[in-house]
Structure 1
Amino acid sequence: MAYDPHATDEYLVCTACGTQFPVTDRAALPTCRICDDPRQFTPPAGQSFTTMAGVRQKHHNVFHEATGGDERLTSIASEPKLAIGQRAILVRTPAGNILWDCLTLIDDDTVQRIHDLGGLKAIVISHPHYYSSHVEWAAAFDCPVYLRNEDREWTVQQSPRQVFWEGDDIQQVLPDSGALAIRLGGHFPGSQVFLFGSHLLIADTLVTTPAGLGSWATDALGTPRERPAGMNSFAFMWSIPNMIPLSGEEVFKMWSILKHHDFASTHGAFIGTDIVAPDIKQRVLDSMQIQTKFAGWARQDAWATV
């Protein structure tokens, strides 16, 4: 059947996390199960819902070209900020376009703009906080949406377009695309990153820190200087908003997978969290060692084996 954007106008959307529920009766949905999880929260004013029609009236999606300086990557974000405020990234591969992560808002303008850029062949989502309205996006572009089976319990809508990956930690997204989805775990059991060329799209599986974005190229007098020792670039969190870090053991497991892949840039969950640096992989490792050290991880000697 042809996609009808108005068929879901009255579907309820959590204002805190942006998850779309296939429910129109507010009495039938008193709380959001995503926000009731200890990794998330409800605002001080309490739980509230809007509708997809309400979202479309108040927000619009903005396309930011050349993410990280590469014309093949286009960031898309909703303005004004909607719920968590994450971006999606449209990745143009030789095998077709892939959308990394997802937004709640989908409207006629967004659909047309993406079709003008070549449409979508697939959607890949990092973790449940960004599931948003992925079922509707998949319907709009008649494409599969790839989720990790470890996080299946967090889906609040079902669709034949959902593909739940399991088993291998490394998945090729489309044949001949050069794009890999890599399960690192941590934030959620199925949390993924996305590797395309030299770009590592990290969402908040790796959380980009202010020190990671800071510049120490020169001092206040313009004199060249080096980045101070001991600065991290990333944090590794079980809950980002509630500031609960991952264990040293879990961080080490993440590195045991990621160490096999090379990259020259990282692209975080939000606009403005791109880091392009020749030593970025080393900075990931340094950040892991810093966090596990200050967390008192007893196996610090394990890093000597990496």
Structure 2
Amino acid sequence: MVHDEPVYDPKRTGSWLICTACGTQFPTADRKERTTCPICDDMRQFTPPTGQAFTTLDEIRSYAKNVWTPFPCDDRFVSIVTEPKVAIGQRAVLIKTPRGNVLWDCITLIDDDTIEKIKALGGLKAIMISHPHYYTTNIEWARAFGCPVYITSEDEGWRQQTSGHQIVFEEAEFDLPIDGAPSGIQVLRLGGHFPGSCVLLHGGRLLVADTLVTTPSGLGGWDADAAGAARAARPPGMNSYAFMWSIPNMVPLDPDTMRRMWDILKKYEFGSTHGAFLNTDIVKTAPEMKRRVLESMQIQTAFMGFKGHALMEEKLD
């Protein structure tokens, strides 16, 4: 129980301003008080050519809905995406565990239908957000389900609202607690895109958001042609991920940062990765997935001109 915390009340917050570019909610309905979005004014993001604009949850609820799509490879994971697209268009992922449900990342739209569906599945025990671009309406979600929302200490300064539901953590690697006990969900703070950017690992599936950016060549199907005929193996030298400080502005991460990310990630096994958007899922085997991550880091390092960097000497056991 969070004391002195307002309860979820869509009428009270439905008119609050929401940035149309990133989906972040601000605790005011006054368009003279709020004229800019600090998230979009940051060099990692952007304000559209048409200029800063705001919407509200009331407006979004009038035309949009959340669509549910179970992972084809594992129905313990369900993508939740708003249609038509709102702001960045990322997905939240509902993760079903024996100890309760956890939401990975957040989307702006929360409405009665979404709340009813999640409560029918047992509600939420926790929300874990990968980085500030997906903070959106996290407090509305936390209040609706009476659960904590986890945010890294390195990125807490990007919060546009604070709440007693928010738990700011400092650990680089930890098991996300549910009702005070381990859940089996590993949170890995890799950094990179933001200083506190995280990935989540559960059941051999690595949810990467934008911390690892899934590339078209990572998703490409070289095992068969469009008619199903067998083809040769995937060509060598293809990447599966890019590692970006800014995705929309195409600013890559440096080799030292990628090396720090790899030093954490290489300790874990995972057989698939699942990016920030629908259809950014790579499902293979654990050895191949780790090989793809390391090869992608080394491809980026080499083409940035750092062929002598220590990351190029890393090998899998």
TM more than 0.5: yes
Distance 1:191 1:301, change over 3 A: closer
Moved over 4 A (4+): none
Quick one: which of 271, 285, 288 aligns to 2:297? 288
Give distance in 2, aligned partners of 1:183 and 1:116. Answer: 31
Query: Is 1:54 equivalent to 2:54 in the alignment?
Result: no
Match of 1:262 in 2: 269
Preserved CA contact (<8 Å) 1:3 1:139: yes
Quick one: which of 150, 170, 175 aligns to 1:172? 175
Deviation at 1:163, TM superposition (A): 0.4
TM-score (norm 1): 0.96
Deviation at 1:2, TM superposition (A): 4.4
Deviation at 1:223, TM superposition (A): 3.5
Match of 1:252 in 2: 259
Preserved CA contact (<8 Å) 2:255 2:311: no
Q: Which amino acid aligns with 2:176?
A: V
Match of 2:234 in 1: 227
Flag structure 2 segments of 5+ consecutive residues without an equivalent. Answer: 1-5
Q: Which amino acid aligns with 1:285?
A: L
Query: Is 1:130 equivalent to 2:139 in the alignment?
Result: no
Preserved CA contact (<8 Å) 1:202 1:266: yes
Deviations 1:163-218 (A, max 9, x none): 0011x210211224210110000000000000001100000100000001110013
- What is the aligned residue count? 304
Distance 1:10 1:302, change over 3 A: closer
Q: Which amino acid aligns with 1:169?
A: A
Match of 1:152 in 2: 156
Deviations 1:17-60 (A, max 9, x none): 00000011000111100000000001111110011111111211
Q: Which amino acid aligns with 2:293?
A: V
How do 1:40-189 and structure 2 match up within 5 A?
A: 40-65=45-70, 67-166=71-170, 168-174=171-177, 175-189=181-195
How do 1:20-31 and structure 2 match up within 5 A?
A: 20-31=25-36
Give distance in 2, aligned partners of 1:292 and 1:102. Answer: 31
Deviations 1:223-262 (A, max 9, x none): 4310000000000000000000000111111001100000
Preserved CA contact (<8 Å) 1:219 1:225: no
| SS of corresponding position for 1:99 | strand
Deviations 1:74-109 (A, max 9, x none): 000000000000000000112110000001000000
Quick one: which of 174, 198, 204 aligns to 1:192? 198
Give distance in 2, aligned partners of 1:281 and 1:51. Answer: 41
Preserved CA contact (<8 Å) 1:68 1:275: no
Structure 1, 49-58 or 98-107: larger mean CA deviation: 49-58
| SS of corresponding position for 2:260 | helix
Preserved CA contact (<8 Å) 2:206 2:274: yes
Give distance in 1, aligned partners of 2:7 and 2:230. Answer: 61
Deviations 1:115-135 (A, max 9, x none): 111100000000000000001
Deviation at 1:305, TM superposition (A): 4.3
| SS of corresponding position for 1:57 | helix
